[in-house]
Structure formats: C-alpha cells, structure tokens
Amino acid sequence: MDLSQVQAGFAFPSQTISLDAAEVDAYIRAVEDPSPAYRGGGAVVPPLAILALAMRGLTDLLTRHPGSTHASQRLTVLRPVPVGSTVTAELIVRTRSERRGFAALILEARVHNAAGPALEGEMLLMVPLGDGSPANG
Amino acid sequence: MDEPGTIPEVGETLGPLDILVTPERVRAYADAAHDHNPIHLDAAFAATTHFGGPIAHGMLLLAYLARVLGERFGRAWVENGALEARFRGPAMVGTSVRVHGTVRTVIEALDGIQVECAMQCADPSGQTLVQATARVRLHR
C-alpha cells in the first residue's frame, strides 16, 4: 500500500485493542511515568498510550515509507479508560494535499470503549511522493 | 511544584523534567508502543539518513510532556486533558531533553476551571523540539 496516495475519506481497518494490565505496565515503565492514576484500584490507561496503540497499524506502514515525518499531533481525552478495557480505534484520512514532493495527510483517530467515545486525535503526516530519505516517527 | 488539585496561577512553571534519551529508553518505548521503525532503533540505518543517527519517537517526547502535566494536574489530566503539539526537530538518541511549561490562562467556567499551558521540549542548546499547548479542566 502506498501511503502517499491514500485519499481523503480512506479508512484504515478498525482495530480492537485490549488494554490489559501488562500492556499498560509496559508503557508506563517505558515512559517512566509515576502517576498514581495509572496504578492500583481505579487505574486508567495513559491517553497517549491509547493513541500510540491505536496508531500501531499506521506505524507499521510508515516503516515502509522512509522520509515520512510526524509533523503535529492533537489529542483530546473525552473519558478515562480503565485498565483492562477493550477499545476500538478508527483511523481516517481527513484531508490530503501535496506540498514540495510530500503528501500532507491529516489523519483523524477516534477511540471508543463500551461507555462511548474515549479519545480523539489528529495528526499531520508528511509522506514523500516517491523515494525519500528516512522516516521520523 | 504544587500538589495536584490546587488551583494554578498564570505564570506558574511546570517541570522542568530532564531526561537523557538513551537507546535503552527508546527501545523500551518501541516495544511498549509496538513502533519499531529503524530510524529509532537501527544506528547503522539511521546513520545513512539526513538525521545522521537514531532519533527518539515523537510520541515518546509527548509522553514526557504528559508526565509533567500529570504531575501537576493529577487525574484531571487523564480524564479530560487535551494537547496540541508541533514537532519542530528531532531528539537525537544519546542527548538529553528538557520538558517544561508555563500556565498561560486560568478561567473560571461553569463546568470547572479551564487551564491552558504552553509546553515545550527542548534540546540542551535550548532549541525547541516540541512546542505544545495543553488544556485541562479542574473541578472546583
């Protein structure tokens, strides 16, 4: 799949993500976040962990597009997601334009769990049209 | 740094958080986020790129920003926080970064106290790597 050629409206396959304690623990250890919100009774999942995992299919794809850059990122938490939840993530290409040899893609991420919408994100990716230099993700 | 739950004042500083971006930290993040792009992990590959070496994940830098926000605003950050970030430059693996911020506005609203912060992640020379605006709603 050529990411630089995806068009506005393109939807990546939705993902169901299990945010179990092991997955969350690996994340908070990696980012060394001491927040008690992520531990013990009533623990919730770090919002950026949810977003990172929601982008998993995209990051796999980006390794095949050297020269891509992640230019900006927005994130809005709509409700906390308890550790142990399962969420569904949808990733849609909102706009596509071309600038100086790159496809500028604005992608929208929407994540929900059984309680409803949990998180929204939006990112700007610059993907080279044709050969480019290495990926920055 | 004030305790989570206290009302911030305009001009209050957040952080700083200084972190050395080691290969081990980047590897741990790659495994946790399932993002194994070689630009972050493969020094030989990264040396052939215009960066000249491996760089940290942008999302790892955002996680450091979130850590500072979580330390100040506690559970409110994970319940209703919002972040708008622009990546201005790469954080080279092996260098340190400093994350800090400033409370820009504090507004009393019907549904709580809206706080907006200017956040930054910079390299040791002070060059901005990530510039961000964070918002959080505190309960009275």
What's the CA gap between B90 and B14, in Å, rounded? 22
Structure tokens at A9: 């409206």
A20 close to A87: Cβ distance less than 8 angstroms: no
Name the pTM for this structure: 0.94
How is chain A split into domains, by residue range?
A: 3-128
Q: What percent of chain B has a predicted confidence (pLDDT) above 70?
A: 96
What's the CA gap between B35 and A137, in Å, rounded? 9
Span A106-135, pLDDT tens digits: 999 999 999 999 999 999 999 999 744 444
Homologous superfamily of domain range A3-128: Hotdog Thioesterase (3.10.129.10)
Contacts with B, A 46-75, CB within 8 Å: 46-49, 51-53, 55-56, 59, 62-63, 66, 69-75
Q: Read off the pLDDT band of B4 (50, 70, 90).
A: low
Q: What is the pLDDT of residue A130?
A: 74
Strand A86-99 to strand A15-18: parallel, antiparallel, or no bridges (unpaired)? antiparallel
Residue A13 has pLDDT above 80, yes or no: yes
Q: Read off the pLDDT band of B111 (50, 70, 90).
A: confident
Residue A80 has pLDDT above 80, yes or no: yes
Average pLDDT, chain B: 94
Contact A136/B63, CB-based, under 8 Å?
no
Q: What percent of chain A has a predicted confidence (pLDDT) above 90?
A: 79
Q: What is the pLDDT of residue B20?
A: 98
Q: What is the pLDDT of residue B1?
A: 47
How is chain B split into domains, by residue range?
A: 13-138
A26 touches chain B (CB under 8 A): yes
Q: Read off the pLDDT band of B2 (50, 70, 90).
A: low
Contacts with A, B 29-88, CB within 8 Å: 29, 31-40, 45-46, 48-51, 55, 57-60, 62-64, 66-67, 70-71, 74-75, 77-87
- Secondary structure element (H or E) that encloses residue A61, with its range: helix A56-62
Contact A74/B82, CB-based, under 8 Å?
yes
Average pLDDT, chain A: 92
What's the CA gap between B2 and B8, in Å, rounded? 8
Structure tokens at B11: 């001009």
Q: Please state the length of chain B.
A: 140
Span B24-71, pLDDT tens digits: 999 999 999 999 999 999 999 999 888 899 999 999 999 999 999 999
3-class SS of residue A1: coil
Q: What percent of chain B has a predicted confidence (pLDDT) above 90?
A: 89
Q: What is the pLDDT of residue A134?
A: 45
Span A50-73, pLDDT tens digits: 999 998 888 888 888 888 889 999
Nearby residues of B116 by Cβ (< 8 Å), 6 or more positions away: B103, B104, B105, B107, B133, B134, B135
Tokens 């920003």, residue located: B65
B128 close to B88: Cβ distance less than 8 angstroms: yes
Residue B75 has pLDDT above 70, yes or no: yes
Q: Count CB atoms within 10 A of the CB of residue B107.
A: 10
Q: Please state the length of chain A.
A: 137
Selected from 3.10.129.10, 3.20.20.370, 3.40.640.10, 3.40.30.10, the CATH number assigned to the domain covering B13-138 reads 3.10.129.10
Q: What is the pLDDT of residue B120?
A: 98
